[in-house]
Structure 1
Amino acid sequence: MLIQLLFYNGRIKFNHWNPVKFFIDNIFLIAIVLVSGGALLWPSLTVRGKRGSPQDITMLINRGKATILDVRDAKEYAEGHLPDAKNIPLAELDKRLAELDKFKSRSLIVVGKSDARGSAAAAKLGKAGFGDVVNLEGGVAAWQKAGLPLAK
């Protein structure tokens, strides 16, 4: 416990630091710090698996050791997809995992409309035993924004 000696009119006065009083006096500031810290950490804590930028994904594809899995709906896939991407919508992924067994030894790049779908698919694939699953950060929108080609 922190003890401060204070001199008042020639007398020594002990001033004990009281942590409970400090907590009560500063509860509002402590709450703000905890909430803002949690808000900053939340995206990092909720992301599952590895993520890659469009440039990282391009390098994986160019090495020839990656398979692209597009987990968007068939309509979204038809509007434009990454070249050579295999389409299995997220809703059907559990039923169609056997189609991907031959790709377990390769990197599997998961592409969704957004990070949410891609992360959900990456988590399912990780539980199914796929070792190297990489989620395209930002989804197809980030791919287009980077000026990279889409196939139709």
Structure 2
Amino acid sequence: MDRLPEFIGNHPLLAAAFVGLLVAWIGWEISQRFRGFRSISSAQLVRLMNDDGLVLFDVSSHSDYQAGHIAQARHLPPSQVDPDGKELAALREKPIALYCKSGVTAGTVAAKLAKAGFTQVHVLKGGLQSWLGDSLPLAKGKR
């Protein structure tokens, strides 16, 4: 520890890069805590699905939903997400889980819902790709 100032003096760019990465990592962790929704694994989603009351939405495209979706999922295109609309407003205090093909679109929709006051919003980390990677089943067609 007594040689740290010497190391920093000899390698200022390396020390600056370390400090920059540390600040970026801390900032990212803080932003994850305050975004208003939780990312969950496939196993956590299965547990939530087994509890009563979870509403699961697939926010993928219509063709992706038809090709395969999680059995209890309702299709909700991102363009039709209206937090104050009849269907969603009734779910404001209920647990909601969202997923899409990769998790990106679901995260955007989740942030919109959280900002509108939804209190129990979850996103499947890695989306349907993660679900399939865990060898979990899909349903096909309409629901």
TM-score, with structure 2 as normaliser: 0.78
How much does 1:34 deviate?
2.6
Give the drift of 1:97: 3.9
Change in CA separation of 1:116 and 1:43 when aligned onto 2, cut-off 3 Å = farther
> Take 2:95 and 2:26, find their aligned partners in 1: how far apart are those partners?
28
Percent of matched pairs sharing the same residue: 30
In the alignment, residue 68 of structure 2 is paired with which amino acid?
A: G
Structure with greater Cα Rg: 1
Structure 2 unaligned regions, length at least 5: none
After superposition, residues 1-152 of structure 1 pair within 5 angstroms as: 26-38=11-23, 40-41=25-26, 44-45=29-30, 47=32, 48=35, 49-94=37-82, 97-152=85-140
1:88/1:96 contact within 8 Å kept: no
Cα displacement string for residues 22-71 of structure 1 (whole angstroms, at most 9, x for unaligned residues): 97764312222034325645654554321110000100110122000111
Amino acid at match of 2:92: K
Instruction: Say if 2:83 and 2:89, in contact at 8 Å, map to a contact too.
Output: no
Q: How far apart in 2 are the matches of 1:143 and 1:96? A: 30
In the TM superposition, what whole-angstrom CA distance separates every residue of 1:95-124 from its partner, at most 9, and x where no partner exists? Answer: 884321222232000111222212111111
Which residue of structure 2 lines up, in the alignment, with residue 5 of structure 1? none
| Alignment RMSD (CA, Å) | 2.7
How far apart, in 1, do the equivalents of 2:48 and 2:16 lie?
A: 44
Compared with structure 1, are the counterparts of its residues 132 and 145 closer, same or farther at alpha carbon in structure 2 (3 Å cutoff)?
Answer: same
Between structures 1 and 2, the one with greater strand share: 1
